[in-house]
Structure 1
Amino acid sequence: MLRSVLTALAAIVTVRLFRAAFSDGDNADVGRAACAIVQLGDAELAADTGAVSDGGALDTLLAINMSLSDKEWQSKFAKENGDAIAWDSDDNTHKKSNPEWAAKWPKWVTARQNIREKAAASEAIKKTALPTLTDSEKKIARQLLAAIVAEATGAEAELNNANSLLAANSNSKIKAAVNTAIYGDDKGGETTYKKAGAVSGVPATPASCMTDGVSGDAGPFYYTFLCICLEAGNNQKKTCSKTATSGSQWSNLASNGKTVYNNMRKICPENKKTALSAANIQATKAALMSHTTLQSDVGYLGKYDANCDGASANSLCVKYTSKVSNTKNDIETLPWASKLTEAATMLEKQQAAQTEATRAASKLKSKLNAAWTIGQTAKVLANARGSGGIPSNQPAANRAEKSGEDCGAHKKNTTCPAANCKWEEKDGKGECKPKDVEGQTKTAGGDGAAGTTEKCEAKLEKYCKSPHCKWESKTCKDSSFLVNKKFPW
């Protein structure tokens, strides 16, 4: 009876040992998935290229703007010898009277320096119609340029913001995040698992394989890779490969981490061509976690039976004691997983910032191209105004007032309306007049100095009235002319 009981017990133990024993290739599939994550650390990223540049477009645009201002305004930013006047300089007389200029002062100074003789922008300006503009043509040019400068200033802010994001999500910072996720240091394991001596500062025994692959705050992914691919007390099993052994065991980490690393990379070859993208990072993580299984409602990664200590009588695995169960999945909170997610997010931000920076820089260049044509456009508009053909995009009051002399030339009711005028009769006499001059004059031009200038310069003498306009030297002038001497932005 006793013999039969012992025989039965021996059979049970034999079955238990058979079930627990780790067989060659048991972790080959999960090993390939784990290797794909290790290979993320092999990816080579290009050196940081730095900020996206507009090629000097904004500086040149502001130089054009400065060239159209009067000498009095230009003199505020340069001494008689041409040297720049810094904001804090004693030569700057506007520090107290105009403190709000402080932020714009450096750009104004740069613009002034860029129109000095032989400066690149100055030489480029000479090749356009800008230097030949008359005073009246300059007024038109300044008004046209003001809108371009405003849009360019907005594009500059967008470019600066995008470049700040590029700096915060540079290739070097992304690579450091990936290295930290995999090896526990931003140098790619040089101070941890690739050390020629004993491994330190990161888990180096199989004990933490039973606690989520984390020891304290340290839980790099390479340690998880070791948990499912490195034996304890033996090195002859084909752990994560169906053809090659690991060649090392856990105890070797106490003497030479570099040797263990080299052996492990034989079953997980380095791949410097690995694509490092947000999509690839997330895909490799998902592929790995698809191998997670539940045992007694607790999550495991890799071959499991009784333990995850790497012994041949047990298994090679990671037990997610506090992270994965039948009711939760907190894998993303593991140090390596959260750090890889951080790297993926940085890659997405980098791509978006690169697109935005390129767009903003292109916009600035297009605004400069538009500015180069302003001189010729101003001449055409001034010529049209002088011949009575005020362009239709000018205020209606200007067009009506400019046509006042033409209306007065019509003495018959039959020809007056055809000239876009109106015929008025009083006491049996008729007079041909411009249509609604007074009403249009009150609304034309809008707010600000530019609008006032446009209202005044085209008025006939009888319509040139204060407070905004005054008749002087046979011309209607803006009574607040000094306002127009200021920079148009």
Structure 2
Amino acid sequence: MFYTNDTPKKVHNTAEAAGQGKKGYEEYWEDWKKAAEQLLTAPKTPRLEATGISKLTPAQRKLAHGDIAKLAGKAREIKKQIDGLEKGKIDSATATAKLKAAVYGAGASTPASTTLVSAFGADPDNTDRDTVCQAESGNQKVKTVAAALACLCMKASGGGTANWQTSTCTKKADGSTGWDSGSSAPNIGDMKTALKACPKRRKAAARSADLTAAVDGVLSSIEAGDTDGYIGHFVTAGCNGSKGNGICVKITGYTANPTAAIAKVPWIHNIQELATELNKREVAAQEAHRLNQMLKLEAEAANAIIAEAKEAPDMALSIPATSTVAKDEAAPQNCTKHKNNETCVQKGCRWEEKGGKSDTERTCKPKKGEGETNSGTGESTSKCTSLDTEDKCQVVQGKTHPGKKYVCGWIEEK
């Protein structure tokens, strides 16, 4: 029913086109269509052949069909659950790109490719360090991790003992030039050195929990001032590199509303969003794995059904529409074959006189009413119609009650 009469064959696009409309097939047709199309190009796929189903006889297939159909229904529902999983809006490549952008800035992907423009949005030039070292989304601001490291780690180049003369991070991150507020831009070479000094990630891919832990570490280090928050060494106000103020990153408006303030810090906010999307992806992957294991069990059950059908005896493969019960020897038409009193009575018949002759010359006949028909109708007369007790009915049917025995067609108590 799936294929057209075209040469080469094609699969009907809809159940209605196949002449199978309004039969409840519409819901399944798209899946059936894909399977039918695959069979056109690969009639004997390795996975299908491995089940042994192609070697079943028509009778064996019929025997397995019902159970296989039930399993197929379960498998389809499982697949619908897999297709409906919320997998997040991000894939591995996009996640990597977003993370690198948060660290190095737009267009950069390594410490070596990082520039002042990618890190700060625009070259800070000789803008005051205090103005640049604010975590905001505008240009010449701390828009990336790279920019934050410049503000936190790069020593001031002048000002004597009043300024930070060494890095607050590591000796390697001090830089050779330093960054003097209002008179020079941060040295890009020094910023790259600070980036390279960061700990290396183990080979395993970062998960959402790793990103969340990293962000939480930053958030827990924020010091709340009278109105703003600060990351790094904060003394009184501003982050101009002097020991009187601080070598730090300022988060405007943090004290009054930390959540709103953090949302305006691009590199923190973007990593938080990335962690959320990765978490959705990870949860979906775990659920998909569980559901795929269920599909595997259904496939194994189907293979077992096919194997069982293949080994089924012939009797199980051919079930007649009606069964014929062998007629009992006590049936009325068989009474005449019994030749003595004992056998005749045991078989539920009557031993009738035959012209007054000796007992051995009598005739075995059906009991009165058995095997007779209503005159002119040809319908059999019921054996028990005129009887008023169960014992009498059992007698005329050639049966005996437990604990009783036959005596010449009658029943007597033991």
Same fold, judged at TM 0.5 (above) = yes
Out of 101, 107, 115, the residue aligned to residue 195 of structure 1 is 115
Contact 2:150 2:186 in 1 (8 A): no
From 369, 381, 402, the counterpart of 2:300: 369
More relative contact order in 1 or in 2 (CA 8 Å, sep 6+)? 1
Q: Does 1:308 align with 2:239?
A: yes
CA RMSD for the aligned pairs?
4.6
The structure where helix makes up a greater share of residues is 1
Cα offset for 1:261?
2.7
* Alignment match of 1:220 (pick from 124, 132, 144): 144
Q: Which runs of 5+ in 1 are unaligned?
A: 1-72, 389-400, 413-423, 433-489
Q: Which amino acid aligns with 1:201?
A: G
Distance 2:19 2:156 in 1: 75
| CA drift at 1:146 | 1.2
Give 1:100 deviation, angstroms. 7.8
Instruction: Give the 3 Å change call, closer, same or farther, for CA 355–382 of structure 1 in structure 2.
Output: farther
| Contact map agreement 2:111 2:192 (CA 8 A) in 1 | no
Aligned to 1:17: none
TM-score w.r.t. the length of structure 1 is 0.53
User: How many residues in Structure 1 have an aligned counterpart in Structure 2?
Assistant: 325
Deviation at 1:98, TM superposition (A): 6.1
Matched, 1:351 2:282: yes
- Displacement, 1:382? 7.4
Report the Cα distance in structure 1 between the residues aligned to 2:132 and 2:216, rounded to whole angstroms: 20
Indicate the structure (1 or 2) with the bigger Cα radius of gyration. 2
Identity, % of aligned positions: 17
| Aligned residue number for residue 152 of structure 1 | 75
Structure 2 CA distance for partners of 1:100 and 1:82, relative to 1, 3 Å = farther
2:334 corresponds to:
none
Matches within 5 A, 1:81-480: 81=7, 83-87=9-13, 93-94=17-18, 104-115=28-39, 119-121=43-45, 124-125=48-49, 128=52, 131-135=55-59, 137-162=60-85, 165=87, 168-185=89-106, 187-188=108-109, 194-195=114-115, 201-202=121-122, 204=124, 205=127, 206-208=129-131, 211-215=134-138, 219-234=143-158, 237-241=165-169, 243-244=171-172, 245-250=174-179, 258-265=188-195, 268-269=197-198, 271-273=200-202, 276-296=206-226, 298-303=228-233, 304-311=235-242, 314-325=245-256, 328=258, 330=260, 332-333=262-263, 334-378=265-309, 380=312, 383-384=315-316, 405=325, 427-428=386-387, 429-430=393-394
1:232 and 1:219 mapped to 2: Cα distance? 21
CA distance in 2, matches of 1:125, 1:198: 57
* Cα deviation 1:281-339 (Å, max 9, x = unaligned): 222223233332234364322222343122466421223331235x7555542322221
Higher mean C-alpha displacement, 121-130 vs 153-162:
121-130
- Residues 322, 426 of structure 1: alpha-carbon distance in 2 compared, 3 angstrom cutoff: farther
Equivalent residue of 1:360, what SS? helix
Paired with 1:112 and 1:377, the residues of 2 have a C-alpha distance of 26
Identify if the C-alpha distance between structure 1 residues 366 and 121 changes in structure 2 by more than 3 Å, giving closer, same or farther. farther
Unaligned runs of 5+ in 2: 332-382, 388-392, 399-414
Give the secondary structure class of the aligned counterpart of 1:352.
helix
- Give the Cα–Cα distance (whole angstroms) in 1 for the partners of residues 175 and 50 of structure 2: 74
State TM-score, norm by structure 2: 0.61
Alpha-carbon shift at residue 171 of structure 1 (Å):
1.7
Question: Secondary structure at 1:319's aligned position in 2?
Answer: strand
Check whether the contact 2:241–2:248 (CA below 8 A) recurs between aligned residues: yes
Contact 2:253 2:261 (C-alpha < 8 Å) held by counterparts? no
Cα separation, 2, equivalents of 1:265 and 1:133: 70
Q: How does 1:52-63 map to 2 (within 5 A)?
A: none
